[in-house]
Amino acid sequence: MKELKFDTLVIGGGSAGMAAALEVSKRGFSVAVVERENSMGGILNQCIHNGFGLHHFNEELSGPAYAEKFIDMVESSNIKVFLDMTVMDMEETGDMKYVYGMSGKTGMIKFCVKTVIFANGCRERNRGSIGTPGTRPSGVFTAGLAQRLVNMEGYIPGKECVIVGSGDIGLIMARRMTWVGAKVKAVIEIQPYPAGLTRNIVQCLNDFNIPLYLSHVVGDIHGKDRVESIDVIPLKNGVEQKDKSFNIICDSLLLAVGLVPDNELAQKIGISINPETNGPIVDRQLMTGKNGIFACGNVLHVHDLVDFVTEESERCGKYAADYMDGKTFSDQYRTVPGQNIKYLVPNFYSPHRDNKFYLRTMIVKNRAELIVSVNGKEIFSKKLKHIQPSEMISFSILEDTVGAEIISECRNNTLEVKIV
């Protein structure tokens, strides 16, 4: 078995992995990226629609075009990329990490590295995750799989579709299926409000007269061999109104019911997971509970926009380089999500450094206020025009915002964030 030494191994060559690897490499460290597909870019490669890069590049790009910009940078750097390679296992002794990656071309390679960055993204929730009852015919696809079949392979998985979930993936697929000649008969959303961006509701549903059923769920799937129809049940105050259920004839059901960070390997080596995000618990430097092991992008928490993934991952790359330069900070305290907050990343902050936070709220509200306090004393607040669970919120607490008079050795110095 071949052994290779690098300073850093990045698991995943999508938007997160490429951004992190580039930053580590810029600091003069040797970096390897392991990617299981035959090209870098990750899920961007199948997202052929526009809307990427408005924040990061100040221009509107397709997914592959956004990826291409990073692929070019990686290819002109010293980063060593291993394509078609799957990480099979990982272990650590002292400061060294050993990662086993495998491909047909290379056989099994043992990577001996100082730092590992998890950047391997998320997977889709599926029928099992949402417990949809009924028969188990062919024709039930996750939206991402359907997107790959259509955009990468040119296969059309059905002619009469119903889409479950009005998140952006569901909306984009409603338009995509229409464009390839399928009839999209309905988009079903369990919440009383759409989960996706407003621009996508307009451009993907309204422009094609696709009905959106808010506060509805799929009751049953019918069909022995292939999907023949589904039952749709309206909700009233969150309760199923079974007497008002109706049937939609269709040959396929596309499930766009959320994403889950893919953390099996991290869990296997004993990294603690935040049950709210399904991503690792990380400190201010996005380092997991294990020294030298970092996480960024959708494997840490599911992001709305790739631009945010890039921002977070570039920081992660810098932090990993800082760690190898011996710059670590012991003056870190916990962060906790308070009122109306679903989760907050990272799980620690440092009062003497800049801290960047991403969070999701649990409520829909206009004119809300985000309030940050330490030891019960408000240190920062921010007005928010409109908030909803599907839109990630970010804010920064800069160096010395938390004054020396607030931090106390006899208090826990926890930073609490709430939205009112």
Partner 1 sequence: MSKIIFDIAIIGAGVVGAAIARKLSSYNLEIALIEKECDVSFGVSKANSGIIHGGFHHGSEYLKSKLEVQGNRMFDQLEQELHFPFRRCGIIVAAFSIEEMKTVEQLYLNGIANKVVGIEMCNRSRMLSLEPKLNTDVVGGLYAPAGGIIEPYRFVFSLVESALKNGVKLFTEFKVVSAEHNSEGYTVISENGNIVHSKWAVNASGLFADEISNIFNAEKFKITPRKGEEFLLDRNSAARTEHVVFPVPDHVSKGILIIPTVEGTTMLGPTAIPQDSKEDVSTTSVNLGMVFSSARRMVPSISQRDIITSFTGLRPVLESGDFYIDISKKQKHFIQVAGIQSPGLTAVPAIAEYVKDLVKKDGLILTEKSSYDPDIEKLPRMRTLNPEEADVLIQDDPSFGEIVCRCESVSEAEIVAAVKHGHTTLDGIKFYTRAQMGRCQGGFCTDRIIKIVQRETGLRYEDITKRGKDSWLIEDRIGDIKVNSYGSVE
- Interface residues with partner 1 (CB under 8 A) are 1, 36, 84, 86, 88-89, 100, 102-108, 110, 123-124, 126-129, 131, 133-139, 141-142, 144-145, 148-150, 152-159, 175, 178-182, 208, 220-221, 224-226, 251-252, 264, 267
3-state secondary structure 331-384: CCEEEEECCCEEEEECCEECCCCCEEEEEEECCCEEEEEEEEEECCEEEEEEEE
Interatomic CA distance for residues 151 and 145, integer angstroms: 10
3-state secondary structure 164-207: ECCCHHHHHHHHHHHHCCCEEEEEECCCCCCCCCHHHHHHHHHH
Smallest gap from Cβ 140 to partner 1, in A, equals 9
Name the residue nearer to partner 1 (CB basis): 144 or 317. Answer: 144
Interatomic CA distance for residues 263 and 121, integer angstroms: 9
Smallest gap from Cβ 387 to partner 1, in A, equals 26
Smallest gap from Cβ 347 to partner 1, in A, equals 20
β-bridge partners, 383:
369
Which helix (H) or strand (E) covers residue 17, if one does?
Answer: helix 15-26
- The backbone torsions φ and ψ at residue 49, rounded to the nearest 5 degrees and listed phi first, read -80, 170
Name the residue nearer to partner 1 (CB basis): 180 or 249. Answer: 180
CB atoms within 10 A of CB 386: 11
Smallest gap from Cβ 420 to partner 1, in A, equals 29
Smallest gap from Cβ 200 to partner 1, in A, equals 15
Name the residue nearer to partner 1 (CB basis): 162 or 402. Answer: 162
Among candidate residues 256, 63, 247, the one with its CA nearest the CA of residue 174: 256
Smallest gap from Cβ 139 to partner 1, in A, equals 8
Torsion angle of alpha carbons 398, 382, 394, 361, nearest 10°? Answer: 140
Coil/strand/helix, residue 311: helix
Name the residue nearer to partner 1 (CB basis): 2 or 236. Answer: 2
Smallest gap from Cβ 84 to partner 1, in A, equals 7
Name the residue nearer to partner 1 (CB basis): 195 or 205. Answer: 205
- Tell me 297's DSSP state: G
Smallest gap from Cβ 377 to partner 1, in A, equals 36
Name the residue nearer to partner 1 (CB basis): 267 or 381. Answer: 267
> Per the structure block, which two tokens stand in for 267?
């869990």
Smallest gap from Cβ 267 to partner 1, in A, equals 6
Name the residue nearer to partner 1 (CB basis): 123 or 365. Answer: 123
Smallest gap from Cβ 302 to partner 1, in A, equals 15
Interatomic CA distance for residues 394 and 396, integer angstroms: 7
- The backbone torsions φ and ψ at residue 218, rounded to the nearest 5 degrees and listed phi first, read -80, 120
β-bridge partners, 359:
344, 393
Name the residue nearer to partner 1 (CB basis): 51 or 219. Answer: 219
Neighbouring residues of 357: CB distance < 8 A, sequence distance ≥ 6: 335, 344, 345, 346, 349, 394, 395, 396, 397, 417
Name the residue nearer to partner 1 (CB basis): 84 or 304. Answer: 84
Interatomic CA distance for residues 7 and 88, integer angstroms: 20
> Per the structure block, which two tokens stand in for 245?
């259920």
Name the residue nearer to partner 1 (CB basis): 179 or 329. Answer: 179
